[in-house]
Amino acid sequence: MKIAHIADTHFGKDLKKVNFADADQPFWIERFLEDIVAEQVDVVVMAGDIYDDKIQPIKAINLFGDFLTRLNNLGITVFIVPGNHDQADRLSANSDILKKQHIYFANEISRELLHITLPLADGKVVFWLLPYVEPLNVRRVLGRDDITNYDSAVRELLAVQPLDKEAVNIIVAHQNVLAGATERILNDHEVDIGYSGQVDYTAFAAFDYVALGHIHGMQAVGRDTVRYAGAPLQYDFSEEGRWKGYLLVEITAKNAIKITEKPLEMLHRVMVLPKGARAGTLEELLELGKQLPDKDKYYFKVRIKSSSLVGRAQEQLYAVYGTNNLLDTEIVREGASSYAITNARGSGGRTLEQNFAHFYQDRNKQQLDKAAQLVVAKLIEQQQNDGYIANMGTLNEQNDYKQEAFAKLIKALEDELEDEA
């Protein structure tokens, strides 16, 4: 039996102004289907975070639906568990109908987990589907008040499962699994969850293969048969340089499991410039961009020194890197790691205009005069009306938009003052 283990597809995910469902995720689906057909895969397991949000956009729903239809047309059995980004009941809608097509969804935690048995030439394989576990849910289904953490929740729930020890037991799960103090591959956004809700890999000791999702880097945890498949695409700039793909798991008998890491081509990779966690001048960044081949195959983040934000800096960067490919311009103040621009009522109760004045004074060592303040107020109103600064109340939480919004505002202010001069 051949199994393709994937996870964290995050259909509908955004990176700055790019939605991966528009081109990158469809491209990945084509490459994945081509490869599993060539490998003659029998089963696909999807280990959670199918969608990026509990409320899914229509294009993400359609993309996932088309993906399942094509897997079904290939005669492939599919097992799916919800992750922490998924809403289980929405994800598993119509699951009774889909079972007839050999597509199985876990829904909510229950005392006995959904498990499906498939024949093997020499024995059988049982697939156990474990939805994202939280201690409260396990306390409820087991009637136990002594379960206080994620590790004990998973252990106690798995302890009551009626495992056939003669069969090959595979569990599909979406949890934060680690092996003691062993360092794992995490992206920047995963550092905060690195030790949150942790489950030791030994909780899955009774299972022959553990198909995990939640962490976006492909890796083994504790033993070779406890595996994260990782996300299929580079969803974060901190994943630069990491290849992506899926795990091909071949099972011939109880103790005969072969795991192969299968890289797949991506439509775009991420790149941060300049290299070495530093900021560059405008001239340096423009020159780096001009030397790069195949810029249309990348999504870029550039780190620019605040002193270089003169003239039409953002416009020049877009001209070299491409408006659709340059996704993030991080402004770095000399002597500081990063310039965090805040917004309306987000820093000491200051308005956006006040925060911009503070930023301008810090960068230029002089205050905005009254005429410039009026121009800034007018520009902010225009950008809000145009939808560029869509919701001033959320900019403070959505750091993705801060740098780009202020870079555009700086450029517009300079253009306006130049015209008035």
* Mean of per-residue pLDDT scores for the chain: 83
Query: What is the rounded average pLDDT of the residues 214-241?
Result: 94
Beta bridge partners of 257: 251
The answer to whether the Cα torsion of 376, 378, 384, 388 is positive or negative is negative
Q: Using CB atoms within 10 Å of the CB of residue 258, give its burial: 0 to 12 exposed, 13 to 18 middle, 19+ buried.
A: exposed
The pLDDT of residue 307 is above 90: no
DSSP letters of 147-185?
A: --SHHHHHHHHHHTS---TTSEEEEEEE-EEE-TT----
The pLDDT of residue 334 is above 70: no
Highest mean pLDDT among 89-103, 122-136, 301-315, 362-376: 122-136
The whole-angstrom separation of Cα 47 and Cα 174 is 6
The pLDDT of residue 24 is above 80: yes
Amino acid 371: pLDDT = 67
Query: What is the rounded average pLDDT of the residues 329-342?
Result: 57
116: nearest Cα among 156, 166, 78, 143: 78
Question: How many structural domains are present in the chain?
Answer: 2
Clarify whether residues 395 and 357 are in a common domain. yes
Name 328's Cβ contacts closer than 8 Å, sequence gap at least 6. 16, 237, 300, 301, 302, 400, 403, 404
Amino acid 310: pLDDT = 66
Q: Which helix (H) or strand (E) covers residue 420, if one does?
A: helix 399-420
Clarify whether residues 29 and 68 are in a common domain. yes
Position with higher pLDDT, 345 vs 158: 158
The pLDDT of residue 225 is above 70: yes
DSSP letters of 369-412?
A: -HHHHHHHHHHHHHHHHTTSS--HHHHTT-HHHHHHHHHHHHHH
Q: Is 143 left (phi over 0), alpha (psi -120 to 50) or beta?
A: left
> In 3-state terms, what secondary structure has residue 204?
helix
Clarify whether residues 295 and 258 are in a common domain. no
Clarify whether residues 221 and 274 are in a common domain. no
> In 3-state terms, what secondary structure has residue 277?
coil
Range of the structural domain that residue 307 is part of = 269-420
**Residue 186 sits in a domain of what CATH number?**
3.60.21.10
Query: What is the rounded average pLDDT of the residues 83-95?
Result: 71
The whole-angstrom separation of Cα 44 and Cα 36 is 9
Clarify whether residues 63 and 211 are in a common domain. yes
The model carries a pTM of 0.77
pLDDT category of residue 22 using cuts at 50, 70 and 90:
very high
Residues 234-271 pLDDT 10s: 999 989 999 999 999 999 999 899 999 999 999 999 99
Domain boundary among 227, 243, 263: 263
